[in-house]
Amino acid sequence: MSVSLAPRRVAARSTAELANFISGERYDELCGSLHALRRALAGRRFVHITGDDQSQGGVVEILRSTLPYFAGAGVDTRWLDVTACASIRPTLEFFHLLGHGFTAEPRSLDTLPQRRQQWREFGAAGAEALDAVLEDDDVVVFHDTQTATMVGAIPRRHRTIIWRAHIGDTNRCALLREYWESIVWSISTATACVFYVPQYAPAGLANVCIQRPSIDPSTAKNRCIERSEARMYVANRLACNPCVTQHCGTVSAVQDDDVVALQISRWDVLKDMPGVAQAFLELSRCHDDFRGILVGPQPKSASEFAQLRACLAKLPADSADQRVHVLTLANSGSADHDSAIANLQSGADVAVQKSLREGFGLTVSEAMLRCVPVVASRTGGLPLQVSHGTTGLLCTPDSLEEFQQLVAALVRDSRLRADLGRAAGTFVADGGLIDRHLASVARTLTRQLL
């Protein structure tokens, strides 16, 4: 199997960018942790590996926001993406779902032995390519399912090797056991394995670390915009944004007094975008002031296109007063893309994340930082962010009726929206900003090196 390595640029960013968003005590703690890490590394490179990530999803977002701060602290920080031919992508998507304890079709398990072999071959090819460019004493962090089989295949030499899981499920079902049996031989060779919650780690795995991701309030994508200003952007400028494609509805019809609910997700079967579209349609029929907006990246794989089509199929194509809007965004990381996200989230009255499974769900924290109340599924990392009745509302993942009822409760009650939104903003400001994450990573890695 042929693979190639695609270096991603890591531009240094100073921690001074965060000084206006956190206390002096937190800022000093962050700087001290990064300084200790730089000393512990003693010139060794800090290399991050992602595997054939076409979707530009949460993992890319986390690395795009965190790695520049390590570089800005004087750490030699690198990022490599291992890409492969298109034929391997269905297998990588299969194991991505399996890692959540989920499969698109039960009969797809019949192909498990063949897919395991393909995954091992991808891992071996990736490890061989990486070994040719890595230095013997590098500190290497492999990210998520796509790289899991590379960990056990790459020669150790004097390298510190860490595998970081960005997915998982607390339900120890048979599907999840199949996932861990497929990779535990590989990840158990790592110096340490990092998870979001302890329950994600398979039984018996040694040297497990827990780290939660977080968001950077200083970036253009996460800047807080006044609701009225954001609404004006959505109504007057969003449709002209070159990153935006409108597939259903016309966002210029959004009025300032509309109650807007928003879900931003990848076109992944686990995000249940078709279910959200159906619920939004019903809400728009019951509440004249309701509008729903679903936003995802420009689809690239067959499964992503299928999810977009399934979402659009839930909505009437010929309605003159379409109150549910479906958008796709291109050029992730560009100024136009980040401006669209910032204005959509700042202009929303309710953010939703109706995932069937979810590793963490960073878009929830992004909305909460803007004091937008959230309706989310009670699964994975979402309850780590949303406390039911305090910072948002939680529903059963597969209950469309309960989800719809909770969104309707927020649509009807502006005071409840305001109360939950304020608490959500405080929660993220206290514990969900990037300084906490950076300091945790730096401390954990320093302990591994000393």
Q: Tell me if 374 sits within 8 A of 284, measured CB to CB.
A: no
pLDDT at 444: 92
Q: Which domains occur in the chain, in start order?
A: 3-214+433-449 (3.40.50.2000), 227-431 (3.40.50.2000)
Q: Report the C-alpha gap between 176 and 170 in whole angstroms.
A: 9
Structure tokens at 223: 């800047």
pTM for the structure as a whole: 0.92
If DSSP codes are grouped into helix, strand and coil, which group holds residue 163? strand
Q: Quote the mean pLDDT of the chain.
A: 94
- Residue 239 reports pLDDT greater than 60: yes
Local confidence band at 53 (pLDDT 50, 70, 90 cut-offs): low
**Cα–Cα–Cα angle for 188, 82, 212, nearest 5°?**
55
Q: Report the C-alpha gap between 92 and 123 in whole angstroms.
A: 11
Structure tokens at 396: 């059963």
Q: Report the C-alpha gap between 329 and 242 in whole angstroms.
A: 9
Local confidence band at 202 (pLDDT 50, 70, 90 cut-offs): very high
Q: Name every residue whose Cβ is closer than 8 Å to that of residue 328 and which is 6 or more positions away in sequence.
A: 244, 245, 247, 295, 296, 297, 298, 299, 308
- Residue 335 reports pLDDT greater than 90: yes
Phi, psi (degrees; rounded to nearest 5) at 12: -60, 140
Annotate 356-405 with DSSP letters as a single string. Answer: SS-S--HHHHHHHHTT--EEEESSTTGGGT--BTTTEEEE-TT-HHHHHH
Local confidence band at 87 (pLDDT 50, 70, 90 cut-offs): confident
If DSSP codes are grouped into helix, strand and coil, which group holds residue 435? helix
- Residue 423 reports pLDDT greater than 80: yes
Structure tokens at 441: 């990573």
pLDDT at 365: 96
Helix (H) or strand (E) holding 139: strand 139-143
Taking only the tens place, the pLDDT of each residue in 17-42 is 999 999 999 999 999 999 999 999 99
If DSSP codes are grouped into helix, strand and coil, which group holds residue 167? coil
Which of 199, 311, 228 shows the shortest CA–CA distance to 266? 311
What's 202's DSSP letter? P
Q: What is the arithmetic mean of pLDDT over 352-378? A: 96
pLDDT at 320: 62
Q: Tell me if 130 sits within 8 A of 150, measured CB to CB.
A: yes
- Residue 54 reports pLDDT greater than 60: no
Q: Tell me if 277 sits within 8 A of 315, measured CB to CB.
A: yes
- Residue 55 reports pLDDT greater than 60: no
Structure tokens at 261: 């609910």
Q: Name every residue whose Cβ is closer than 8 Å to that of residue 2 and which is 6 or more positions away in sequence.
A: 84, 85, 125
Q: Report the C-alpha gap between 199 and 168 in whole angstroms.
A: 8
Find the length of the chain. Answer: 450
- Residue 97 reports pLDDT greater than 60: yes
Q: Report the C-alpha gap between 371 and 386 in whole angstroms.
A: 12
